[in-house]
Every structure is written in structure tokens, then in C-alpha cells.
């Protein structure tokens, strides 16, 4: 054995080598980068929450601004009246003006001239926008999931690895990178003009569905591929047909993965403005989607939608304190809605995943 070390010598004492110093620096760079991202994200959420909650919540019962959730957007009128500053929505303002005119006529005075500043979209609420977004999401996700899961099943279970199939995969991958405005223009050309559906719910559904389709196909295919081969072989060896095998012994296990991908899909479908701008979104509509003469008309009219509304109130209208309330209120509700949908999907996925584990 080598000579014994003196008691005081610690062979494990830290030594200031370059590698040691780099170790410390590197870990700090990673840490700072992470916290920087976190800080950006948090400040966005905090701003929207802070400014939005002023519009959405109320100090008194029922603590939420019910008008904001139940009414359609209206023009806001701001004016001086008998030395007092008044704010009124379009409908209220008309009633007020007529009442004043009638009062003046009764007293034999000329009708008063009310000089009001008007601010578009700054009164009322966003009920039709929420409705429109929900309709767009539900419809387009139904189309995208149906088509996407079928295509994924074909690609992963039926198709052989031929040049044509590889080309299809490449095309799908590329499609995922196409900017959403291009999908919007495609939808406009295809559905609005060529199919003559006009600006309508139906055109929006298909445009949005095509936009998320690549994501859903790719993710579904991956979830299907993740199901062990042994389950398929075991099922086939018992005399099941291919489709029986897929339906009973592959698809159920792939479902949690497919749902995960559809969460991403939902967030995208709900949030994108460009694809619906030319195909489905109305700046303002005085009817709710179901207020139609016959049911089928519902699909052939445009809707108001949250992201497009945010776009309109923040870029089409001169900025002012009144419109700002709507902007942040809408953004707040929008984030909340998307969050809620995502949460539901996550809960559903966890429930399914607990059921099938291997």
C-alpha cells in the first residue's frame, strides 16, 4: 500500500480548476435563461389579469360583470349632461336622447343637442364572441379529429412504407409549418369563393380544421406507434381482423396521446385570427348564430369570435381608455376560456391514462 496520508490532508478538497469555474457559470446561465422566460410569461399574464379583471369583476354581488358576459358589443357614447359626465351604450343612449327630446317638447323647448364622443365596440359585452369561438372550436376540432385520426390510422396501421407514403408524410410535416394566414387565404379561395359558402361558420370550420390537421395527424400517428406491437400480434393471433384489433386493442390505448395533441389543437384553433379573418369572422353581427329562419342557415353565416374581436378592438379603433377596457377584458376571458378547455382535456387524458397502463 502507498504511504498513509497525514490526518490533516483532505484529498477531496475543492480545487479551483477551469472546469470547476465553468460548472458554476454554466448552471447560472441556464438558470437565468429559465427565469427570464418565466418572468416574461408571468408579466404577460399578470398584465392581462390585472387590467382585465377591472372589466370582468365587480366589487358588489354577483362579483362579475354580467353585462360583459351576456351582451353584444356596442358603441359607447360619452358626453357632458348638466355638468355631469355620462357614459352610455348605444341602445341606452338612444332611449335617453328620445326621452330628453320628448321632455323638452312637452315643456315647449327645442330638443337639446347632445354632443357625444362615440367609441365603437367599447360598451356592452362579448357574449356573441364567446359563442362564436366555442362554435368554431367544436366544429373544426370535430372535423380535424375525424379526418386526422382516420389518416393517422391509415398511415400507421395500413400503409406500407412506400415512396408515396413517405411523400405524404413529408407533405404533412411541411403543412404544419405553413403560416396561418396562408390557410386563411386558401380557405377564402376554396370555401368562400369556389364553394360559394361565403363568409360562414362552415368555411371557418374547414379552414381551421385544415390548419390543425397536420399536428393532429402527426401526434395521433405517434401515439398509435407507441402502442406495443405485442398487443396487435396477440389480438391477430386470436383471430381478430385488423380493424377489430385496431378498434379494441390499439385505439383505446392511443387515445390519451391523441387527446393531448388535440389540446394543442384546441388552443391553436381558438386563438388563431388569420384563418378566420377572411372566412368566418364578422366584425359585428346583430344576431346570435342560432337566430336564423331555418336551422341550416346557421352554418352559412359568419360569427363573431374572440381573437378577431381582440384584433378589431386593438387595431381598428383609435386607442382610448374606454376601448382599452374591452381589450383587456376580452383577452382575459379568452385566456380563461382556452385555459378551461385545456384543463378539461388534461383531466380527461389523465383519467384515460390511468385506465390503460402498460
Partner 1 sequence: MDSTATASVPRSRPLATPPASSAGAERGATLIDIKDLDFYYGAKQALFDINLQIPDKRVTAFIGPSGCGKSTLLRCLNRMNDLIDGTSVKRGAIKIRNVDIYGRDVDPIELRKRVGMVFQKSNPFPKSIYENITYGLRIQGVKNKTRLDEVVEKSLRGAALWDEVKDRLHESGLGLSGGQQQRLCIARTIAVEPEVILMDEPCSALDPIATAKVEELIHELKKQFTIIIVTHSMQQAARCSDQTAFFYMGKLIEFDATHNIFMNPKNPQTEAYVSGRFG
Closest separation in Å from C-beta 145 to partner 1? 23
The stretch near partner 1 (CB under 8 A) out of 110-118, 201-209, 224-232, 320-328 is 224-232
Cell of 182: 396562408
CB 338 within 8 A of CB 270: yes
Beta carbon nearer to partner 1, 12 or 358: 358
Closest separation in Å from C-beta 354 to partner 1? 11
Q: Are strands 84-89 and 116-124 parallel, antiparallel or unpaired?
A: unpaired
Largest CA distance in the chain: 121
CA 94/CA 29 separation, integer angstroms: 61
Q: Does 223 bind partner 1 (CB under 8 A)?
A: no
Q: Does 14 bind partner 1 (CB under 8 A)?
A: no
Beta carbon nearer to partner 1, 136 or 254: 254
Q: Does 154 bind partner 1 (CB under 8 A)?
A: no
Closest separation in Å from C-beta 206 to partner 1? 35
Beta carbon nearer to partner 1, 236 or 317: 236
Beta carbon nearer to partner 1, 177 or 239: 239
Helix axes 201-225 and 127-153, enclosed angle (nearest 10)? 40
Question: Among residues 112, 179, 234, 339, which is the contact residue for partner 1, using CB under 8 A?
Answer: 234
CA 275/CA 43 separation, integer angstroms: 28
The stretch near partner 1 (CB under 8 A) out of 177-185, 226-234, 299-307, 318-326 is 226-234
CB 118 within 8 A of CB 323: no
Cell of 227: 402502442
Residues 6+ apart with CB under 8 A from 248: 235, 240
- From its phi and psi, is residue 54 left (phi > 0), alpha (psi between -120 and 50) or beta? alpha
Beta carbon nearer to partner 1, 60 or 161: 161
Cis peptide before 62 (omega within 30 of 0): yes
Question: Among residues 154, 231, 299, 300, which is the contact residue for partner 1, using CB under 8 A?
Answer: 231
Cell numbers 329562419: residue = 293
Coarse DSSP helix, strand, coil percentages of the chain, rounded to the nearest 5 percent: 65, 10, 25
Cell of 148: 386526422
Closest separation in Å from C-beta 220 to partner 1? 19
Beta carbon nearer to partner 1, 115 or 357: 357
Closest separation in Å from C-beta 14 to partner 1? 47
**In the window 238-257, what residues touch partner 1 (CB under 8 A)?**
238-241, 244, 248-249, 253
Listed in order, strand segments (DSSP E) in the chain are: 73-81, 84-89, 116-124
Q: How many of the other CB atoms lie within 10 Å of CB of 222?
A: 15
Q: Does 356 bind partner 1 (CB under 8 A)?
A: yes
Closest separation in Å from C-beta 167 to partner 1? 18
Contacts with partner 1: how many residues (CB under 8 A)? Answer: 21
The stretch near partner 1 (CB under 8 A) out of 103-111, 196-204, 223-231, 331-339 is 223-231
**In the window 157-176, what residues touch partner 1 (CB under 8 A)?**
160-161
Closest separation in Å from C-beta 242 to partner 1? 9
Sign of the torsion formed by the C-alpha atoms of 7, 12, 14 and 19 = positive
DSSP structure class, residue 122: E
Where along the sequence are the contacts to partner 1 (CB under 8 A)? 160-161, 228, 230-231, 233-241, 244, 248-249, 253, 356-358
Amino acid at each position: 500500500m502507498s504511504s498513509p496520508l497525514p490526518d490533516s490532508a483532505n484529498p477531496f478538497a475543492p480545487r479551483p480548476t477551469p472546469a470547476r469555474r465553468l460548472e458554476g457559470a454554466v448552471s447560472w446561465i441556464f438558470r437565468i435563461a429559465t427565469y427570464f422566460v418565466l418572468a416574461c410569461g408571468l408579466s404577460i399574464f399578470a398584465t392581462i389579469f390585472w387590467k382585465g379583471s377591472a372589466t370582468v369583476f365587480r366589487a358588489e354581488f354577483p362579483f362579475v360583470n354580467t353585462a360583459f358576459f351576456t351582451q353584444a358589443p356596442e358603441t359607447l357614447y360619452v358626453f357632458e349632461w348638466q355638468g355631469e359626465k355620462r357614459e352610455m351604450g348605444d341602445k341606452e343612449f338612444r332611449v335617453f336622447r328620445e326621452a330628453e327630446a320628448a321632455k323638452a317638447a312637452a315643456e315647449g323647448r327645442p330638443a337639446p343637442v347632445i354632443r357625444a364622443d362615440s367609441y365603437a365596440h367599447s360598451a356592452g359585452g362579448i357574449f356573441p364572441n364567446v359563442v362564436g369561438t366555442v362554435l368554431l372550436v367544436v366544429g373544426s376540432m370535430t372535423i380535424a379529429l375525424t379526418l386526422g385520426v382516420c389518416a393517422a390510422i391509415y398511415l400507421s396501421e395500413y400503409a406500407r412504407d412506400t415512396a408515396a407514403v413517405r411523400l405524404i408524410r413529408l407533405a404533412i410535416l411541411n403543412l404544419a409549418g405553413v403560416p396561418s394566414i396562408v390557410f386563411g387565404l386558401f380557405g377564402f379561395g376554396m370555401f368562400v369563393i369556389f364553394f360559394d359558402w361565403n363568409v360562414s361558420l362552415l368555411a371557418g370550420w374547414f379552414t381551421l380544421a385544415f390548419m390543425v390537421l397536420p399536428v393532429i395527424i402527426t401526434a395521433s400517428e405517434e401515439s398509435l406507434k407507441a402502442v406495443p406491437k405485442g398487443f396487435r400480434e396477440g389480438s391477430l393471433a386470436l383471430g381478430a381482423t385488423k380493424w377489430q384489433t385496431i378498434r379494441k386493442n390499439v385505439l383505446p390505448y392511443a387515445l390519451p396521446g391523441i387527446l393531448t395533441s388535440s389540446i394543442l389543437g384546441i388552443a391553436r384553433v381558438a386563438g388563431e385570427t388569420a384563418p378566420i379573418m377572411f372566412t368566418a369572422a364578422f366584425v359585428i353581427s346583430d344576431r346570435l348564430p342560432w337566430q336564423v329562419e331555418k336551422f341550416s342557415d346557421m352554418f352559412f353565416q359568419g360569427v363573431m369570435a374572440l381573437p378577431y374581436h381582440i384584433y378589431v378592438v386593438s387595431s381598428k379603433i383609435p386607442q382610448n381608455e374606454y376601448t382599452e377596457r374591452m381589450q383587456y377584458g376580452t383577452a382575459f376571458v379568452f385566456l380563461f376560456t382556452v385555459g378551461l378547455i385545456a384543463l378539461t382535456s388534461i383531466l380527461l387524458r389523465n383519467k384515460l391514462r390511468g385506465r390503460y397502463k402498460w
